Amino acid sequence: MELTAVDVRAWLAEDLGAGDLTSDAVVPEDVTAKATILLKERGVVCGLEFARAVFAELDPDLSFEALATDGMETAGEIAQLDGDARALLGGERLALNLGRPSSTLERPRQDFAGSRSTPCAAAAERITAWGSTTGF
């Protein structure tokens, strides 16, 4: 999939709607923050460029340093961010969800690979499409 600014804006509109009301209410406009994207368990990195695009849309001046690349198998810190605190909080859920299929597939793959009593294999995982409740 080729990423476009239209995609990112549509995803943010769906996720944030009128905005991040909690952050807007409790975080002053001029506050900056640092954040880290962390893989708690070993998995395949996926979606860093999507995450970068989400945060750039919310704060064009935000610093996004990738410490890993998509397709890399690793654990630990995979990106460091520094920028507007509201942008970091507002984009967090969407950015992490865009990279989620990789981490959610890794554990079942290990479980199936270690299973000797039941002859089975993971054929697919249901992922819900943006703007849809039916999935694909």
Q: Which residues of 14-41 are buried (b: 16+ CB within 10 A; e: fewer)?
A: ebbeeebeebeeebeeeeeeebebebee
| Domain presence at residue 130 | no
**Lookup: tokens for 25:** 């209410």
CATH of the domain at 42: 3.90.1170.20
| Domain presence at residue 97 | yes
Distance, CA of 111 to CA of 59 (rounded, Å): 40
In order along its 136 residues, the chain shows pLDDT tens digits of 577 778 888 888 888 887 788 888 899 999 999 999 988 888 888 889 989 999 999 999 999 999 999 889 999 999 999 999 999 999 988 888 877 644 444 444 455 455 555 555 444 444 444 444 433 3
| Domain presence at residue 74 | yes
Distance, CA of 4 to CA of 40 (rounded, Å): 29
Q: pTM of the full predicted structure? A: 0.69
| Domain presence at residue 64 | yes
List the domain range (segments joined by +) for residue 14: 5-114
